[in-house]
Amino acid sequence: MALGALALAFSGWVLVDRKPVRSASWREGGDAILHPSTAVRDSAELAREADRLRAERKRLEARVVALQPRGNYVVVDRGNNRIYLRRGDSVLVDAPASTGSGDILQETVGAKRTWVFDTPPGRFSILSEREDPVWTKPDWAFLEEGLPVPQRLADRRDYGSLGEYALDLGDGYMIHGTLYERLLGRSVTHGCVRVGREPLRAIVSKTRVGTPVFIF
Amino acid sequence: MNAWEEGPALSEDPSRRGRHRPGALMGAAALAVFGVWSLSATLFGTRTVTMGLEGEGLDGEARVENLRRMNRALETELHLAEAGEPYILLDAPGRVLVLKSHGAVLRKFPVLEARVRVTRTPRRGRMAETALDTVWVQGALLPERKKERMVTLSDTVSEPDLSASVAYIPPTPEEEYPTPPAFRIRCSGGVSVLVRPERPSAPSEEESRPALSLPAKMAQWLRLRPWAPGFMRVELTMTEEEAGALYRAYTDGTPLVVSTTNGS
């Protein structure tokens, strides 16, 4: 048994991936870890070097800060079905949300289109804010109910199902209210983000057109 | 002689083979478990890299080196923030794991305890030093979170039955992907993060569930692939809630930076 264990341990050792962690784009300047500075000798030199590095640090920190959103921003956590309104390190709103179900609808006749009901990840911004929004139902909304797709635009109008407000993110995706608050916190939507009445009111009151929205 | 006795694999008396099988299987299983344990113990020994190199109390040269490392960590973050994809920053001294994008904080996961374990071999130990404050890429979650997608064909759908009283309600993320006893984010190049949720000590609903059988426990352990090659492992202890949230939020491939430096 001991021999077997030794053999296993040795085979694991042989099989160990020996590639070092090196990613060309991120390793610039990293060699200093492998070759610690030998140029720095006396305390005056060390002090000068430390001052230079502190100044460099401030410059880098300023560049990172410059990339961050300046005001409030919305964050959607698809894995946990939550929505946040943040401002830097502060969380202003933390509420359950509903995101895409991940289901697939395939059209078996005609154009044979396929829809994947995912909430897309990425950085978006609020393109418009609408009160009492009217939903113009797309084709999939009829196909998944076994109904014929109407030809007239008026037959696609749906009043009330988006709740009090809709924040448009583009490509048909929205953050909006819902009639089905009991489903909040579950992955049930066709890609939009559904939010309860009170958190949505709070978010709308603290955002405007152009506010960044991060979905991960 | 029966025909089936002639084959080399079936050369012994079948009744004897039946008697020996349980013992042989148990022996093989014990050998495998011991082998994996010894392999793990060989590669990940007691050498621990101190996390949180304090600027105060360091002599001049060490302080300068600390500043250099801090700047490198900032440069790394700047690259990631400019790239525009989400990334995870493990701030070991600050005991927090932060998911960020474009420099903006998306979510923070507090860490109760963090430590780095590296292989005992000298060359790999040096490689581990280079892995700190750099980007770990191609991370993969173990055990993986499988998403099952339901496919509906449009011609199979009928009009909804509005009289139906019970509609299907899908599970919450917590129900669909409960917090595993432990999970890993394994990155390319032999580095990984092992997350252990801290279970509440008070009697809870968890304790009322039936205990896992030994095979189930072993299966769970093996899903973490303890034999996978590597030379550096960051071990994190988090609350069960935060660990579960991280497990459900992590997307494979998200770059990870482990920062072990703090202000001077």
CB-based contacts of A120, cutoff 8 Å, min separation 6: A171, A173, A191, A215
| Alpha carbons A149 and A158: distance in angstroms, whole number | 14
Kindly give the confidence (pLDDT) of every residue in chain A, 216 residues in length, as a single tens digit, with 9 standing for 90 and above.
Answer: 555 555 554 444 434 333 333 322 222 222 333 334 444 468 888 999 999 999 999 999 999 999 999 999 999 999 999 999 999 889 999 999 999 999 999 998 888 999 999 999 999 999 999 999 999 999 999 999 889 999 999 999 999 999 999 999 999 999 999 999 999 999 999 999 999 999 999 999 999 999 999 999
Distances (CA, A) of B259 to A65, B107, B144, B237: 18, 17, 25, 17
pLDDT (tens digit per residue) in B207-239: 555 566 788 777 766 666 566 556 678 899 999
Are the C-beta atoms of residues B106 and A75 closer than 8 Å to each other? yes
Answer whether B105 sits within 8 Å of A46, measured CB to CB: no
Per CB-CB distance under 8 Å, the chain A contacts of B79 are 25-26
In this complex, the residue of B107, B132, B135 whose CB is nearest that of residue A77 is B107
List the one residue out of B234, B232, B217, B247 whose CA is nearest residue B144. B247
Answering whether pTM is above 0.80, one says: no
Contact B264, B67 (CB under 8 A): yes
Which tokens is A96 given?
């359950």
Give the C-alpha separation, B215 to B212, whole Å: 8
Angstroms from B51 CA to nearest CA on chain A = 16
Contact criterion met (CB < 8 Å) for B230 and A12 = no
Q: What letter represents residue A142's amino acid?
A: F
ipTM of the complex: 0.77
Instruction: Tell me how far apart the alpha carbons of residues A99 and A121 are, in angstroms, rounded to a whole number.
Output: 11
Chain A residue with CA closest to B257: the answer is A26
Distance from CA of A132 to the nearest CA of B (A): 25
